[in-house]
C-alpha cells in the first residue's frame, strides 16, 4: 500500500530525517520519502502490520501536524 500524508512544519533536512526516521521505525513501513517543498510524505507500507493512524502518531510525536 502507499499513502501520502500532509505534514505541516517540516522545513529542513533535520525535519526530513526526523519524519522519515520515525516512520521507518514502524514495523511494516518499507519506505518513507519526504517532499519538503510540497509538505508531503509518501509512505509505502504493509497494511497488515501498520495503519495510517500509527503513522500519523509517529510523525506527531516528532512535533509535526499531520492531515491524511
In the structure grid, which three cell numbers stand for residue 19, read together? 519524519
- Express each pLDDT in 12-61 by its tens digit: 999 999 999 999 999 999 999 999 999 999 999 999 999 999 999 999 99
Contacts for 7 with CB less than 8 Å, ≥ 6 apart: 19, 34, 39, 40, 41, 59, 64, 65, 66
Contacts for 57 with CB less than 8 Å, ≥ 6 apart: none
User: pLDDT value at position 67?
Assistant: 87
Q: Do the Cβ atoms of 65 and 8 come closer than 8 Å? A: yes
Domains (ranges, CATH) in the chain?
Answer: 2-67 (3.30.70.100)
User: pLDDT value at position 23?
Assistant: 98
Amino acid at each position: 500500500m502507499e499513502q501520502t500524508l500532509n505534514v505541516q512544519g517540516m522545513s529542513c533536512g533535520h525535519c526530513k530525517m526526523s519524519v522519515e526516521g520515525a516512520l521507518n521505525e514502524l514495523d511494516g513501513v518499507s519506505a518513507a520519502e519526504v517532499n519538503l517543498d510540497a509538505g508531503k510524505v509518501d509512505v509505502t507500507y504493509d497494511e497488515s502490520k501498520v495503519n495510517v493512524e500509527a503513522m500519523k502518531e509517529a510523525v506527531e510525536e516528532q512535533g509535526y501536524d499531520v492531515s491524511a
